[in-house]
Amino acid sequence: MGETTFLTPANTLYSLLAFIAYLVVIVCIGIFASKFSSSGLREYFIAGRKLNKIIVALSAVASGRSSWLLLGVTGMSYLMGVPAVWAVVGYIIVEMLLFLFYATRLRKFSSKYDCITLPDFFSERFQDKSGTLRIITTSVIIIFMVSYVSSQFIAGGKALSVSFNINPFLGVLITSGIVLTYTLLGGFLAVSITDLIQALFMLFALLILPIIAIYGRGGLCEITKELRHFNPNFLNSFSISVGTLLGFIGIGLGSPGNPHIIVRYISIKNPNDLRFSAVIGTIWNVLMAWGALFIGLAGRAYFPNQKGIPNSDPENIFPLLAQNLLHPLIYGIIIASIFAAIMSTADSQLLVAASSIIRDIYEKTIKKGKTIPQRKLVLYSKLCVLTIGAVSIVIGVFAKKIVFWLVLFAWAGLGASLGPTSILSIFWKGTTKAGVIAGFLTGTVTVILWHSIPPLKSTIYELIPAFLLSAIATIVVSLITTRPENVDKIYSGFE
């Protein structure tokens, strides 16, 4: 991961106490939820479909944002200014629409056909007896989800390194250790409750820091003058290329294909409450996004020279600004908020990956037709979470990509392969199994190739072409292949 240029140590008693107190609360929640979550797969992976509308709303937005928002978007805002706003516009709009239309239909279908995972959904939607859809969907999820979890562990190591003057590798181990502890103990219930708390921490940090930073610099007008003097295009939202602008807006296309967001819709107790969740989730998304953007802008005013940031890495601007402006106690809470963003995503992704392996590969494919004790399945699920976590740590230690782009690659891979196929499966009766497989493969291959070929990668974010090609492949192949005979009966599950 490279060497880190450490700041003046911030690990005062106040900062450490605030940060440690947060971690203790999170682990205690895992212990509290362990009794309920250990009774079966439904309890461990979707909290028995008993979550209320507020927890679902805040858990969905918290798990979807990750360190990408607190470190990645603040860093992009520091680098390019106001144009970074386009990186948040797309997902805010798309996730609002998902809550309003997509989520309700998915929740009704998943309840009728007892779907716990996204591969479960595809298998039941197309009555796949061969297990082909389960295997392909699970493979796609594992390939990109491990990269995603790794990026969160990298972010945790980076945040601890800058904040408390420790070795980045030790930071990765601490981050992964805490996440694995409460995820193993409490499953999805613990993850969802902690996500609620973590969403509150994230909002607090993303509101308090920019307000203090702007006030301390003489107000918004003064900061605007400084930024305009630094670079006139810094405040022009359209000063970026069309390809970059479309790529940023297109980030939102990844939301319907990311299982750690979608599983929230499946877990709500009453599907009619999802419209209320849409309001809460959208407000939260807007507030957090604007906070991240203003932190980056204020950070450029305070540190106009990028060399003044540890490792000259703009993704360190958030903890650096907090360290310089806030009381040690508040600073400890701010660092906890960064961990909240990291943990609220990594925990969900670990569960999604493990659920796909245990539910879809082991229970529904390898042991198909056999009765397996639920507690035994939960034990295997916990071992799977631990294994995936270990692999993610190894990748995280040796990864050289920065958080923003590593997250975007994983986000694109999941969004392009699972997004168009799930949308069409839910809203178009004519979608077929062959069409979905074509969409999976087209989206996955396009993302990998586009990301690997510099001339293509430099034109537009790989999610955009991959999403479109995946949708086209799904539609075209569906039109020339046969639908199941009982498609009307199956499709009624969405009503």
pLDDT digits (tens, 9 = 90+) for 289-305: 999 999 999 999 999 98
Structure tokens at 354: 């493990």
Counting the structural domains of the chain, the total is 1
Give a yes or no: residue 412 inside a domain: no
- What pLDDT score does 25 carry? 86
pLDDT in tens, 442-466: 999 999 899 889 899 888 889 999 9
* b/e code 412-423 from CB counts within 10 Å (16+ = b): bbbbbbbbbbbb
pLDDT of 325 > 80? The answer is yes
Query: Residue 343 is part of a domain; what is its CATH number?
Result: 1.20.1730.10
- What pLDDT score does 400 carry? 52
268 — phi, psi (to 5°)? Answer: -70, 145
Give a yes or no: residue 464 inside a domain: no
Helix then strand then coil, % of the chain, to nearest 5:
85, 0, 15
Mean pLDDT of 120-149: 90
Q: How far is CA 382 from CA 138, 343, 355, 388, 390, in A?
A: 17, 17, 10, 10, 12
CB neighbourhood size of 398 (10 A)? 9
Interatomic CA distance for residues 59 and 398, integer angstroms = 30
pLDDT of 166 > 60? The answer is yes
Give a yes or no: residue 82 inside a domain: yes
Give a yes or no: residue 218 inside a domain: yes
- What pLDDT score does 405 carry? 67
pLDDT in tens, 56-69: 999 999 888 877 88
- What pLDDT score does 263 carry? 92
CB neighbourhood size of 370 (10 A)? 7
Least confident of 31-45, 244-258, 299-313: 31-45
Give a yes or no: residue 297 inside a domain: yes
CB neighbourhood size of 35 (10 A)? 12
- Torsion angle of C-alpha atoms 124, 125, 129, 131, degrees rounded to 10: -80
Mean pLDDT of 315-333: 87
Interatomic CA distance for residues 264 and 55, integer angstroms = 9
pLDDT of 120 > 90? The answer is yes
- What pLDDT score does 7 carry? 39
Band of residue 8 on the pLDDT scale cut at 50, 70, 90: very low
Give a yes or no: residue 443 inside a domain: no
Structure tokens at 170: 């030790």
- What pLDDT score does 402 carry? 55
More confident residue, 116 or 71: 116
Q: How far is CA 158 from CA 151, 317, 375, in A?
A: 10, 11, 37
pTM assigned to the model: 0.89
More confident residue, 185 or 137: 137
pLDDT of 481 > 70? The answer is yes
Where in the sequence is the domain holding 236, given as residue range(s)?
13-401
Give a yes or no: residue 478 inside a domain: no
Interatomic CA distance for residues 74 and 168, integer angstroms = 20
Give a yes or no: residue 181 inside a domain: yes
Band of residue 337 on the pLDDT scale cut at 50, 70, 90: confident
- What pLDDT score does 333 carry? 85
Mean pLDDT of 12-30: 83
Least confident of 28-42, 107-121, 295-309: 28-42
- What pLDDT score does 279 carry? 97
- What pLDDT score does 158 carry? 78
